[in-house]
């Protein structure tokens, strides 16, 4: 504990250029699907990059969100709760007038069902004390359908086919 606190201090002292934190997870299949994949979150300085690789999806667009809870126990993934929304905004498209902190957007699966997304933001952190930014304790959900960026509060993205507990 003492050592990790010390290393955090050193990281901020050198302005975090050579300092990064990485968390890697397996995608759990949900709702009777065969969804597979990996989700890697890396914080370097003030930026967090998500590298998401998903397999065995149906071809086409699938919504990806961070949801409120890192709990994938329910067969349909609903145990992750609603969209992570610490800023109490309406659902929408990332970077638009209003959106949730978890509104990552859509990924496009090819004819083999493979999709990849690399998403970088300074609005998240991995394990910092600012709970409006901290992604630890949240869940990542891959949906059966497309996020329309309009329907409240979900984007009308359908069922939950993949789930990650971000711990
Ligand atoms: Cu969602
Ligand atoms: Zn949302």
How far is the CA of 128 from the CAs of 44, 100, 134, in angstroms?
Answer: 13, 19, 6
CA of 74 to the centre of ligand 1 (A): 14
Q: Tell me the whole-structure pTM to 2 decimals.
A: 0.90
Whether 13 shows a pLDDT value over 80: the answer reads no
CATH for 20-166 (1.10.10.10, 2.60.40.200, 3.30.428.10, 1.20.1050.10): 2.60.40.200
pLDDT in the model for residue 1: 45
User: Residue 145 — left, alpha, or beta (φ > 0 → left; ψ -120 to 50 → alpha)?
Assistant: beta
Ligand minimally distant from the alpha carbon of residue 85:
2
Q: What is the 3-state secondary structure (H, E, C) of 35-76?
A: CEEEEEEEEECCEEEEEEEEECCCCEEEEEEEECCCCCCCCC
C-beta neighbour count of 21 within 10 angstroms = 16
User: Residue 166 — left, alpha, or beta (φ > 0 → left; ψ -120 to 50 → alpha)?
Assistant: beta
CA of 60 to the centre of ligand 2 (A): 20
Ligand minimally distant from the alpha carbon of residue 81:
1
Residue 52 in contact with residue 119, Cβ under 8 Å?
Answer: yes
- pLDDT tens readout for residues 113-129: 999 999 999 999 999 99
Ligand minimally distant from the alpha carbon of residue 98:
2
- pLDDT tens readout for residues 86-117: 999 999 999 999 999 999 999 999 999 999 99
CA of 33 to the centre of ligand 1 (A): 16
Residue 30 in contact with residue 160, Cβ under 8 Å?
Answer: yes
Q: Where are the domains of the chain?
A: 20-166
Ligand minimally distant from the alpha carbon of residue 159:
1
* Lowest-pLDDT range of 18-22, 51-55, 131-135: 18-22
CA of 149 to the centre of ligand 2 (A): 8
CA of 152 to the centre of ligand 2 (A): 8
DSSP character string of 85-126:
-TT-PPP--TTSSS--TTEEEEEEE-TTS-EEEEEEESS-BS
Whether 130 shows a pLDDT value over 60: the answer reads yes
């Amino acid at each position: 504990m003492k050592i990790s606190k010390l290393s955090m201090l050193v990281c901020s002292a050198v302005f975090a250029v050579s300092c990064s934190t990485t968390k890697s997870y397996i995608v759990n299949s949900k709702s009777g699907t065969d969804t597979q994949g990996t989700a890697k979150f890396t914080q370097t300085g003030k930026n967090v990059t998500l590298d998401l690789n998903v397999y065995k999806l149906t071809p086409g667009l699938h919504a990806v969100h961070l949801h409120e809870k890192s709990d994938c126990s329910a067969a349909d993934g609903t145990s992750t709760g609603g969209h992570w929304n610490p800023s109490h905004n309406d659902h929408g498209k990332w970077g638009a007038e209003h959106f949730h902190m978890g509104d990552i957007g859509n990924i496009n699966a090819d004819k083999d069902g493979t999709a990849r997304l690399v998403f970088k933001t300074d609005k998240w952190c991995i394990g910092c004390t600012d709970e409006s930014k901290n992604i630890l304790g949240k869940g990542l959900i891959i949906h059966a359908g497309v996020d329309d960026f309009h329907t409240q509060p979900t984007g009308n993205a359908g069922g939950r086919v993949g789930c990650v507990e971000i711990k």
